[in-house]
A and B are shown apart, each in its own frame.
Chain A
Amino acid sequence: MAMVDTGAVRLHVQRIGPRDRPATATVVLVHGLLTDSLASYYFTVAPAFAAAGLDVVMYDLRGHGRSERPADGYTLDHNIDDLEALLDRLEVTGPVHLVGNSYGGTVAFGYAVRHPERAAGVTLIESEPATAAWAVKLGGILHRVVHQLAYNEPDAIAWITAHRSHNTARLARGAARLARETSLGRDIPASRVLTEDQIRSVRCPVLGVYGGDSDLAELAPWLESLLPDCRTVVIPGHEHSVLVEAAQAVGGHILELVRGAELAGAAEAR
């Protein structure tokens, strides 16, 4: 297992690539909050990306998966700092394709705002840039997690086991631990958010992928109207877990974005 020390935190990283030739581009995959980890990519789209010739970098956000779990430092800016330091440590210097699922997309977009020259493309899966409305919404979700789950765990877990599944209950226990033992629940809603001008400043191609049955699908037209180069795809019959449930479709759209950017780059070079 590869651990990378960014100087601030030790992060668990997995990197795979094509077996028989040099990679044509790097994709960096960022997972979501609380119950998520790099496994959501490792067993879904990552093998296909590597087979398609890409250098695939996956990592666990601080506090998640196998990464270190410091007691504090969980604002969006901390996560962007971690990503920045991680890519520096890995000596990934050229522009990369950033892909983020849910909160991971908010991190990826924040990185692209901070380093437009290092972003070849951004994919937001069931995700959005950090706005004031986003911070309020996340605050509400995290408040429920902290109060109903983290401090009333036996009852909450019994309910989840009865109404959802054994598996969901186990994931919820992990989420409760993270919420209880760290400042994440307070830090994320207190994150610095982006202005509309900062959002518009992302000029690289942006792809938005949403589940047709997810509330977030409403964001698609707003995102397209705001960003200079944005396409959105709504995948019917799915909710927030569209990445793992419709991995092939989601992966296909991302590869199309990467290929498109490569062709545009080649055309420019001529």
Chain B
Amino acid sequence: MTPHTPVTADEETVLADLAGMLARLLEDEYGLDDVEIGMHTTFNRDLELESIDLVTLAGLLEERYGDRVNFAEFLAGMEFDEIIELTVGRLVEYVVTSLKAAEAS
């Protein structure tokens, strides 16, 4: 599997999943209910999420995917600036890669 997997149905499903989780988080924590979320949406500037929101997101990811996806490890491997620039698309790619790796093993 190459890291640059083209957009597939899998990616669409994962994006829909993540958009649902983020919508839930934005509604619960900030009372927002009409935020558009796409592959290029950034967590920091577009969604205004704080790092503690990413901890909540990690919990939602674990609820959905179990230990097949480890968001904390994913972010722990990044530089601070990379986390600031992180897009929903990059997380979608990571989730798809992790799920495929779990399937293969």
Contact = CB atoms under 8 A, between A and B. Distances in A.
Whether A associates with B in a native complex is yes
Nearest to A51: B73
B50 A174 contact: yes
Q: How large is the interface on A (under 10, 10 to 19, 20 to 34, 35 or more residues)?
A: 20 to 34
Interface in B5-22: none
B58 interface: yes
Given A42-B58, A167-B84, A47 B52 contact: no
Contact of A1 (B44, B56, B67): B56
Interface string A120-143: 000000000000000000000000
Interface in A41-65: 42-48, 60, 65
A167 B80 CA distance: 12
Contact of B51 (A1, A16, A19, A40): A40
A92 interface: no
Contact of A42 (B48, B55, B80): B55
Contact of B52 (A19, A38, A167): A38
A191 to B, nearest CB: 25
Of B45, B48, B52, B80, most buried by chain A (CB within 10 Å of CB) is B52
Mostly, the B contact residues are: helix
Interface string B20-51: 00000000000000000000000011001011
A33 interface: no
Nearest to A31: B52
A60 B52 CA distance: 9
B87 interface: no
Contacts of B76: 43-48, 247
Interface residues of B, number: 20
A39 B75 CA distance: 11
A170 B75 contact: no
B97 interface: no
Given A19-B67, A170-B50, A171-B50, A244 B80 contact: yes
Interface in A171-188: 171, 174
Contacts of B45: 166
Contacts of A45: 76
A66 B51 contact: no
Interface string A1-38: 10000000000001010010000000000000000011
Contacts of A256: none
A72 interface: no
A245 interface: yes
B99 interface: no
A174 B52 CA distance: 12
Contacts of B75: 43
Given A37-B55, A39-B50, A43-B55, 4 more contacts: A40-B51, A46-B72, A47-B76, A66-B55
Closest 6 CB pairs of A and B: A39-B51, A43-B75, A37-B52, A65-B52, A47-B76, A47-B73
